Amino acid sequence: MTATVIDGKAFAAKVRGLVGEGVAKLKADHGITPGLAVVLVGEDPASQVYVRSKGKMTVEVGMHSIEHKLDVATSEADLLALIDQLNNDPAIHGILVQLPLPDHLDSDLVINSIDPAKDVDGFHISNVGLLGTGQKSMVPCTPLGCLMMLRDYHGSLSGMNAVVIGRSNIVGKPMAQLLLGDSCTVTIAHSRTKDLPHVVRQADIVVAAVGRPQMVPGDWIKPGATVIDVGINRIEKPDGGTRLVGDVDYDSCAAVAGAITPVPGGVGPMTIACLLANTLTACCRANGLPEPEGLTA
């Protein structure tokens, strides 16, 4: 068996297209332009690249884009004051504070100071609670992207056995909630799980989000299962260079699975696409307008 490759790059382009259509309709019908503000504290190279990419794509879909780049020594009071200003700005519908923050800043305090309705990362404790109780919320971008790809590939997920490897607040836990919401039977596995290979082999859907390069081999995968690889790990090549790999061993898993996401080009592109989708959704909700179809959970 050779797995079908789920092309996240192509699917993300489709999602951005839908977002662009939604933005154009908002402008034409209501004179409203969705606005996204991204706050970057410090000069982390990976964060800088990510923020530039977000800003470029925000503009491409027709949204209003603002970037606040703050010095690494910015005080917590000054950062909270900026967030308060953005909370009260009617032109801003989504606020994203790029993580990780410098050590002297309390990430939980900062994230929970964002207006939950503008929390397009879905990390605010109110959105976590709403998602966990099956209510309307802002949904974390990476798990939302995974869910979209699964729905697109399978149609209905009802009754499927899903194993999420990883219990982070950013991916593992919200992913499990979303799969439950689509009527999967869900197991959250982690480093302390007894006989992890046996647990994973029961799954029709495997979502690997542990941050360990190529941890999941093909002999853990049930024949025909769908494998969603959230991991992005940089490893050394024999020639001294580096390459990106996921949390699953792609070649051995692709030989057994029914479908699989590659790394790179799988889940990664969907994260920014879903950030844009969340911003459009937040704008529609703020203005009492119907939400765009197919762009949220």
Residue type, 290: P
Q: Is 251 helix (H, G, I), strand (E, B) or coil?
A: helix
Q: Are 63 and 35 in contact (CB under 8 A)?
A: yes
Residues with Cβ within 8 Å of 279's Cβ and at least 6 positions away in sequence, in order, are 34, 35, 36, 58, 63, 93, 94, 120
| Positions marked catalytic | 54, 98, 121
Nearest to 207 by CA among 124, 152, 145, 159: 145
Q: Are strands 185-189 and 161-165 parallel, antiparallel or unpaired?
A: parallel
Backbone φ, ψ for residue 202 (5° rounding): -85, -10
Q: Give helix 172-181 / helix 141-154 axis angle, nearest 10°.
A: 40
Which helix (H) or strand (E) segment holds residue 252: the answer is: helix 250-254
In whole angstroms, what is the distance from residue 29 CA to residue 51 CA?
30
